[in-house]
């Protein structure tokens, strides 16, 4: 019986291959960890200093909040209500839901919306929480908006709305 012929550098080659694979694996894990660390640092910075939002990109979750605050601050209540309704999630646009929004949430927002604006017309976010769907995808974001008169930030949740081309729309908002 003859021994299986081996390449003279087989052990070194196997070691380099294993080492290369290990380094690549650690680098990939490091990138994931960096993303997690970066997210953690951003959230800590957000909680300490807040993030000011003045002119967000159109159809982003922050833009929906901007539209809601601007609608509530509209001097013409009817125009503001019409604008605000367009920012509501489809689930919130049933007759009963709209009546509830108009009688409760909208009136409160009209009274308090100016309390969420800085002199430069920006608003500040103190925190956010991602809301995941049952399939693990991002379904919504709950923002915590800073008020000049309240000690605790106010929650406002926006979700993707399949009936409105997957755009961000308001589902809950206590402004």
User: Could you tell me where the DSSP H helices lie in 60-174?
Assistant: 61-72, 77-86, 95-100, 107-112
* C-alpha distances out from residue 139 to 76, 130, 132, 161, 169, Å: 33, 8, 5, 9, 11
pLDDT tens digits in sequence order for the chain, 175 residues long? 444 444 445 444 443 444 344 334 333 444 344 444 455 556 556 656 688 999 999 999 999 999 999 999 999 999 999 999 999 999 999 999 999 999 999 999 999 999 999 999 999 999 999 999 999 999 999 999 999 999 899 999 999 999 999 999 999 998 8
- Give pLDDT tens digits for 163-175: 999 999 999 998 8
pLDDT of residue 88: 98
- Sequence ranges of the domains in the chain: 8-48, 50-173
Name 138's bridge partners.
132
pLDDT of residue 18: 40
């Amino acid at each position: 019986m003859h021994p299986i012929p081996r390449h003279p550098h087989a052990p070194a080659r196997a070691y380099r291959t294993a080492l290369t694979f290990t380094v690549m694996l650690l680098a990939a894990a490091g990138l994931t960890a960096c993303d997690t660390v970066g997210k953690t640092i951003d959230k800590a910075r957000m909680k300490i200093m807040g993030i000011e939002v003045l002119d967000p990109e159109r159809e982003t979750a922050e833009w929906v909040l901007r539209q809601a605050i601007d609608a509530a601050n509209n001097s013409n209540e009817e125009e503001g209500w019409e604008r605000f309704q367009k920012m509501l999630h489809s689930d919130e646009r049933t007759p009963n839901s709209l009546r509830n929004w108009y009688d409760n949430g909208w009136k409160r927002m009209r009274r308090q919306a100016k309390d969420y604006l800085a002199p430069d017309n920006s608003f500040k976010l103190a925190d956010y929480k991602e809301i995941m769907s049952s399939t693990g995808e991002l379904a919504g974001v709950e923002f915590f908006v800073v008020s000049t008169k309240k000690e605790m930030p106010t929650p406002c949740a926006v979700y993707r709305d399949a009936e409105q081309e997957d755009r961000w729309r308001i589902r809950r908002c206590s402004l």
